Every structure is written in structure tokens, then in C-alpha cells.
A = this chain, B = another copy of it.
Amino acid sequence: MRTVGPVKIISPYIEDQVKVPLATYETPLWASTNRGAKVSREAGGIHAVIVDERMTRSVLFEASDAATALQIVREVQTRQEEIAAVIAKTSRFTKLLEINFQIVGNLLYLRLECSTGDAAGHNMTTNAADHVMNWMLAQYKKLRYISVSGNFCVDKKVSAVNGILGRGKYVIAEINISRTICEQILKTTPEKIVELNIKKNLLGTNIAGGVRTANAHFANILLALYLATGQDVANIIEGSQGFVHTELRNNELYFSVTLPSVIVGTIGAGKELEFVRDNLEMLDCLAEREIGENARRLAIIVAATVLCGELSLLAALTNQGELMRTHLSLERGTSINE
């Protein structure tokens, strides 16, 4: 683990420079992210917003036939307040936001979507789902229990549903970088970054059969930060499904990362470890704030750091041979991991 930065961030949650702890076996990541952080400071800061936040669990029932499943869904849609009340009893921090559903034949997948305060909320949502299932099975005798998780949630697996209906925090971070900074710090030009993003992240991922993905290595930075802050680390899978959008604007580089599924919390499992608490404190994510604000602050920091790491790697890739040279000098040839 090493600390990089500071990253300069401007958002409703932070106007500050933040030093960020990254835990990784891939040591060149530190230098690379540091370069991005330097850009963030020189270019006036990374702007970031949170578009949405929710944690989900899809319960799975079976009815005798589709008509019965449909009829029950229709009724459930009119009884959302009752279900919200069932959920509210499981924790004062778990609040029902929305119920989405799918019916396949006689199978009914209900996707419960909740806000969960400063916790990532896996546990809280599963607990809520358990209680909703009990309530449903009591109310609708025609339903049969199949599973408290029907994979329409969906946890730690690639999907399209998480980005479309939401899971975790949907964060966008963006920055405008002058040509001079591109040239001096990143050793590249705005045009080269724009070109590479189109040909590698957009087209290349597309032919690889990627789904809702257009980036080089969001996953590396997510991993390092999730490890350092005690997150449920396998959620980097959803996290890896995000987009870089960049363009030339007034002769400058507009560079953005969009992360629809940042799944982080500042309380819950893993947060009791001492080094995790230290790291969260360093990030100022354990302060007395309104419910949810610490977790939002953390999500913003995650997105801004992802921007730093992504920008630096893309810049390196625009120059033939740079990636390999850097890795060789930083780790004496032991590893290059995109």
C-alpha cells in the first residue's frame, strides 16, 4: 500500500486536495496514478457529480403461470408503501427506492432497490429482501420461494442491468486539460488521447464483445482503493463497466470517466480493520456528516482517482514503447498489467 496524490477534486462533497491510499501488487500503478494526480492539480481540479445511488437485490418467485405472476406484480405495484414499511422495519437506514421486475414464463424476478446510508448495503438489502419475501409469501399463497437472489440484482457479475437500472453510486468525473499540460506532464497531445480512446476503448472493446464498457483499466484503480478502504472488493467487476468520453474542446482536452456502479461504504464489514479506519480517516470519510455523505465523498474520491489512473495510462499508450519502459524501470521487469 502506498499513498498517491494529492488529487485535486471539486464537487458538492469535496473542494480539496486528497491524498489517496492504493493497495496493489502492481506497483507501477502508484507512479502512474501520481502523474494523473499532478495533472489534476495543474489543470484546476477534477469536477465530479453523483447521478444516482442505490443497492439492489432481486428476489425470485415462481407462480403457476405468467398470468398469475403478472397479476401479483400489478398488485404489488399498488402496494409499494406496504413493502417500504416492511423494509423500513429491518433497519432505520434502509429505504425502498424502487421495484423493477421481469417475468420469464412463470418466474417472477423482483428487483428491490434501496438506499442504504453510508453502507455499501449488500447485507442490508439482502436482509430487506428476506423480509419482503416472507411478506410476499404470506400475502400471495400462489407464489413459491425459489431464491433470495435471482441474479437480476446482480452482484459481482457482469451485466447490463446494473448500469441501466442502477447499482451502487453512479459517478462522473471530468477535467479540462490544456495542451501545455498534456505535452509537459503527459508527454502527449489532446488529439492523441482522443484518437486512442475511440480506437481502443470504444471500438476495441466493442469487437471484443464487451458490454457497457469502454475503458483501459478502471479495474486496477478500483481494486487498489477498494482494498485500501475495506470494500467488498469483488464489486470491481461491476465497477469495471464504465466509460471514458473525451474530446478536443477549444484546443484543450476534455476528459471524463463515467462509473455507473461504484459500490462503496464507510461503515459495514471490513471497515472495522485498523488500517482501513486509518485510510478512511486520511480521506476524511469518517467525519460527522449527514447520513450518506461520507460514502458519497468516498465515491467521488474513487471516481477522481480512476480518472487520474486512466488518463495516465492512455497517455503512456499513445507513445510507442512507453508502457513497457516505465514498467521495466519501476519494477525491474516483473509485471505489466494493462
Cross-interface CB contact of A104 among B210, B230, B243, cutoff 8 Å: B243
Stretch at the interface among A1-9, A178-186, A283-291, A323-331: A323-331
Q: Are B213 and A105 in contact (CB-based, < 8 A)?
A: no
Check B334 against A148 for contact (C-beta < 8 Å).
no
| Chain A residues touching B, majority SS | mixed
A65 to B214, CA, bound (A): 19
Q: Which residues of B contact A153 (CB under 8 A)?
A: 208, 338
A228-258 interface with B by 8 A CB criterion: 230-234, 236-237, 240-241, 243, 245-247, 254, 256, 258
Interface check A189, CB cutoff 8 A: no
Residues of B within 8 A of A159 (CB): 205, 208-210, 213
Q: Is A135 an interface residue (CB 8 A)?
A: no
A58 close to B (CB within 8 Å): yes
Among A49, A147, A202, A212, residue most surrounded by chain B Cβ atoms (within 10 Å): A147
| Given contact pairs A233-B233, A240-B158, A240-B237, A335 touches B270 in the complex (Cβ within 8 A) | yes
- Which of A100, A106, A208, A331 has the most chain B CB atoms inside 10 A of its CB? A208
A215 adjacent to B157 (CB under 8 Å): yes
Query: Residues of B contacting A100 with CB < 8 Å?
Result: 164
List B contacts of A220 (CB < 8 A): 156, 234
Of A14-22, A37-45, A79-87, A193-201, which stretch is located at the interface? A193-201
Assembled-state Cα–Cα distance A126/B320 (Å): 12
Among A149, A222, A273, max chain B CB count under 10 A is at: A149
What per-residue 1/0 map shows which CB atoms of A23-63 lie under 8 Å from chain B? 01111000000000000000000010101000000101010
A338 interface neighbour in B149, B214, B321, B337, Cβ under 8 Å: B149
Is A336 on the interface with B (CB-CB < 8 A)?
Answer: yes
Q: Known contacts being A214-B206, A232-B26, A270-B335, is A200 close to B243, with CB within 8 Å?
A: no
A87 to chain B, nearest CB (A): 14
Copies assembled: 4
- A174 beta carbon closer than 8 Å to chain B: yes
Q: For the complex, is A211 an interface residue (Cβ under 8 Å from B)?
A: yes
A104-B258, A146-B195, A256-B105 given; A156·B70 CB < 8 A: no
How far apart are the CA atoms of A106 and B247 in the complex, in Å? 11
Smallest Cβ distance from A298 to chain B, in angstroms?
15
Q: Is A278 interfacial (CB-CB < 8 Å)?
A: no
Encoded as 1 (CB less than 8 Å from any B CB) or 0, chain A from 98 to 142 comes to 001011111101000000000000110011001001100100000
Instruction: For the complex formed, measure the closest distance between the CB of A228 and the CB atoms of chain B, giving whole angstroms.
Output: 12
30 contacts between A and B (CB under 8 A): A26-B270, A47-B67, A49-B70, A51-B70, A60-B204, A66-B174, A66-B258, A104-B245, A105-B172, A106-B256, A109-B207, A123-B333, A123-B335, A126-B324, A130-B323, A146-B200, A148-B320, A149-B200, A151-B205, A155-B337, A159-B210, A160-B161, A160-B211, A198-B247, A202-B202, A207-B243, A223-B234, A227-B227, A234-B240, A237-B237
Top-4 shortest CB links A-B: A160-B209, A269-B335, A151-B204, A160-B160
15 more A-B residue pairs beyond the given contacts A153-B208, A161-B208, with a C-beta to C-beta distance below 8 A: A26-B269, A104-B245, A105-B172, A105-B254, A122-B335, A122-B336, A126-B324, A127-B324, A151-B208, A155-B217, A156-B240, A157-B240, A159-B213, A160-B208, A160-B211
